[in-house]
């Protein structure tokens, strides 16, 4: 069941990217958060993991999005256990963090915006450059953000998940959505 682990990591990266896009302005706490990863394997196997936990932080010229990995849920307890203990090693590496230069993000005014940006994803004790897509729109004093990215778990030293002969592909799609206050 390596798929959940890979998917989990992708979700973490995507959450980080989206949070960074919103954080271009001075930001408050994130709400209405949803992080999801999608992994595929042989014979049409599809795995989705989700969480509603993520934080967005801004310090000097950087924005970071932190996703705790333990809350990722694939709706199958054994798969969750393998993902957390064997692949993500959440006791040792509890979070995924995406760090983006504030200057790399566009913030919406009256019209919604779409863009791509580069950042650094910290996952499983390793750092790797990533590119992500995001959409953001202003809703009063808040920003609503959606983001996505494709992640290869091998870049982070995570083994390809496998269970009973079914191995999940190492590329995982991650999506993130959240709302953040413009302070």
Instruction: Tell me the pLDDT tens digit for each residue of 120-142.
Output: 999 999 999 999 999 999 988 88
24: left (phi over 0), alpha (psi -120 to 50) or beta: alpha
Say how many domains are in the chain.
1
Tokens at 108, concatenated: 């919406």
User: pLDDT-based confidence at 12, cuts 50/70/90?
Assistant: very low
Mean pLDDT of the chain: 84
Tokens at 32, concatenated: 């209405």
Q: Say if CB 34 and CB 50 are below 8 A apart.
A: yes
Q: Say if CB 133 and CB 126 are below 8 A apart.
A: no
For residues 140-153, give the mean pLDDT. 92
pLDDT for res 176: 93
CA distance 173 to 85: 21
> Three-state SS for 2?
helix
Phi/psi of residue 99, nearest 5 degrees: -115, 130
pLDDT for res 1: 39
Domain span at residue 123 reads 2-182
In this structure, what is the dihedral angle of CA atoms 94, 100, 102, 106, given to the nearest 10 degrees?
A: -110
Q: What is the CATH number of the domain that holds 151?
A: 2.40.128.110
pLDDT over 90 for what percent of the chain? 60
Residue (of 15, 11, 23) closest to 62 by Cα position: 23
Provide the 8-state DSSP code for 102.
G
pLDDT for res 29: 59
3-state DSSP helix/strand/coil percent for the chain, to nearest 5?
A: 25, 50, 25
State in Å, rounded, how far the first CA of the chain is from the last one.
42
Tokens at 139, concatenated: 């809703």
Tokens at 145, concatenated: 């953000």
For residues 51-75, give the mean pLDDT. 92
pTM of the model: 0.80
Instruction: Tell me the pLDDT tens digit for each residue of 65-119.
Output: 999 999 999 999 999 999 999 999 999 999 999 999 988 988 788 899 999 999 9
């Amino acid at each position: 069941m390596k798929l959940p682990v890979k998917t989990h990591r992708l979700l973490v990266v995507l959450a980080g990217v989206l949070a960074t896009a919103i954080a271009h302005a001075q930001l408050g706490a994130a709400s209405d958060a949803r992080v999801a990863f999608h992994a595929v394997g042989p014979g049409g196997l599809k795995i989705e993991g989700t969480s509603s936990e993520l934080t967005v932080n801004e310090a000097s010229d950087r924005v970071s999005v932190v996703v705790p990995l333990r809350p990722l849920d694939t709706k199958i307890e054994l798969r969750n256990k393998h993902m957390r203990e064997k692949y993500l090693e959440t006791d040792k590496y509890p979070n995924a963090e995406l760090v983006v230069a504030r200057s790399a993000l566009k913030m919406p005014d009256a019209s919604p915006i779409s863009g791509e940006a580069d950042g650094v994803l910290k996952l499983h004790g390793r750092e790797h450059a990533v590119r992500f897509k995001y959409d953001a729109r202003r809703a009063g004093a808040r920003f609503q953000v959606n983001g996505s990215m494709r992640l290869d778990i091998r870049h982070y030293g995570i083994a390809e998940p496998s269970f009973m002969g079914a191995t999940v592909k190492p590329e995982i799609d991650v999506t993130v959505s959240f709302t953040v206050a413009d302070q």
